A and B are shown apart, each in its own frame.
Chain A
Amino acid sequence: MSTENLEVGYNSRIEGDVIVSKADAVINWVRKNSVWPMPMGLACCAIELMATGAARFDMSRFGMEVMRFSPRQADCMIVAGTVTYKAAEVVRRVYEQMASPKWVVAMGACASTGGMYRSYAVMQGVDRIVPVDVYISGCPPRPEALLDGMMRLQEKISQERSLTQLTKKR
């Protein structure tokens, strides 16, 4: 079996112990491959979120298996479910407790727009209180859709100007 075709990028025999790259590229590469999600499971969408983390769909393939229930250890809040006005306060507080850089994924119709709940009790989209990076359609979205959304988030992270925005303010 030839190993020649498997050489990708860095070759220590040629380049020694030095890697030349852009700082942004390195920082983003690190960030996007280890997104620690904060599961803000508020309703039925959270069931699909759990399925996404479990063996069959296996979010750990993307470096996202470390679901952190403490916002202080999380990078990405996945808002999975119906955000009521009463819960909106908590969602915002949890978001504020996360350390920058941080991202928000609105999973499902409810988190994105209020969904089928045209109601006095339900916030019509979580983007009214937190800045949302990725919206995922569906009621609920299948785990594939969540994975697709998370991969889009990775794409978004890899294009960020991390160094110039080290103290990203949002």
Chain B
Amino acid sequence: MTLSFETLAKQFDSLTQRPSSDYDAFNVDADQLVALCEHLRDKEGFSLLVDVAGIDWNDQSPRFSVAYHLYSVIKQCYVRLVCACVGDESPEVPSIVSVWPAANWHERETYDMFGIHFKGHPDLRRILMWDDYKYHPLRKEFPLAGIEDELPAADVRERVDANVIAAPMMGGPFYAQAADHMSQREPSAADQSWAESNPKRD
């Protein structure tokens, strides 16, 4: 433990400690996030933003959280911040691009995958999926195989007569089995009837 929770909590009253098996971890409210980040960067030496990730808690409220991992090059330790998003329909948190420019693409990715809006982000566009994609694939309600849709560019779509399809899951998703020998730990689906090694079911 390299950060004193008590000292931090005096300055940021929304701060609570978060169960963690490795590094210091704190929950913080959205309205104190940027100030806390600035404090950690300037006063505590956390100069490096390692990751920004979203969490979808499914049927809880607040439904979405954003997790930040910071690293101090001087102290050589991490700290984890988790900030619950405001609003479940169109979740929102303040952007921390002003604190660490590295947050730019991380936040774009989190927006792309979860639909979390980062208020104050200079350029909040999708980064992985194409611009007019309608869904946010890492939300819990999004099926693993995907949703049938149109291909990105309209002129190409006309010429190729192909679609975005729901991927054939072949009985999947695939899980690795708990077994002693590696050969038995091959990932397999619940329904493997299509596989050649098994007799076909009717």
Binding site for B on A (CB under 8 A): 85-86, 88-89, 92-93, 96, 114, 117-124, 128-129
Question: Which residues 99-151 in B have Cβ within 8 Å of A in the complex?
Answer: 128-130, 135, 137, 142-147, 151
Q: Is the CB of B152 within 8 A of A124?
A: no
Q: How far is the CB of A92 from the nearest CB of chain B, in Å?
A: 5
| Chain B residues whose C-beta falls within 8 Å of the C-beta of A85 in the assembled complex | 130, 151-152, 164
List 29 A-B residue pairs with CB atoms under 8 Å apart, sorted by A's residue number. Answer: A85-B130, A85-B152, A86-B152, A88-B152, A88-B156, A89-B156, A92-B156, A92-B159, A92-B160, A96-B159, A114-B167, A118-B144, A118-B167, A118-B169, A119-B144, A119-B145, A119-B167, A120-B137, A120-B142, A120-B143, A120-B146, A120-B166, A120-B167, A121-B146, A124-B165, A124-B167, A124-B168, A129-B160, A129-B162
Binding site for A on B (CB under 8 A): 128-130, 135, 137, 142-147, 151-153, 156, 159-160, 162, 164-170, 172
Q: How far is the CB of B174 from the nearest CB of chain A, in Å?
A: 8
Q: Of the candidates A89, A119, A120, which one forms a contact with B152 in the assembled complex, judged by CB atoms under 8 Å apart?
A: A89
Complex Cα gap A89–B159 (Å) = 11
| Chain B residues whose C-beta falls within 8 Å of the C-beta of A114 in the assembled complex | 167
| Chain B residues whose C-beta falls within 8 Å of the C-beta of A123 in the assembled complex | 162
Q: Which 9 A-B pairs have the closest CB atoms?
A: A120-B146, A118-B167, A128-B162, A89-B153, A129-B160, A86-B130, A89-B156, A89-B152, A92-B156
Q: Closest chain B residue to A117 by CB distance?
A: B167
Q: Is the CB of A121 within 8 A of B128?
A: yes
Q: Is the CB of B160 within 8 A of A118?
A: no
Complex Cα gap A129–B155 (Å) = 13
Q: Closest chain B residue to A89 by CB distance?
A: B153
| Chain A residues whose C-beta falls within 8 Å of the C-beta of B160 in the assembled complex | 92, 128-129
| Chain A residues whose C-beta falls within 8 Å of the C-beta of B159 in the assembled complex | 92, 96
- Give the tally of cross-chain contacts (CB within 8 A): 59
| Chain B residues whose C-beta falls within 8 Å of the C-beta of A121 in the assembled complex | 128-129, 137, 146
Q: How far is the CB of B119 from the nearest CB of chain A, in Å?
A: 27
| Chain A residues whose C-beta falls within 8 Å of the C-beta of B170 in the assembled complex | 118
Complex Cα gap A88–B169 (Å) = 21
Complex Cα gap A92–B154 (Å) = 12
Q: Closest chain B residue to A93 by CB distance?
A: B156
Complex Cα gap A86–B131 (Å) = 9
Q: Closest chain B residue to A113 by CB distance?
A: B168
Complex Cα gap A161–B169 (Å) = 41
Q: Is the CB of B147 within 8 A of A120?
A: yes
| Chain B residues whose C-beta falls within 8 Å of the C-beta of A128 in the assembled complex | 160, 162
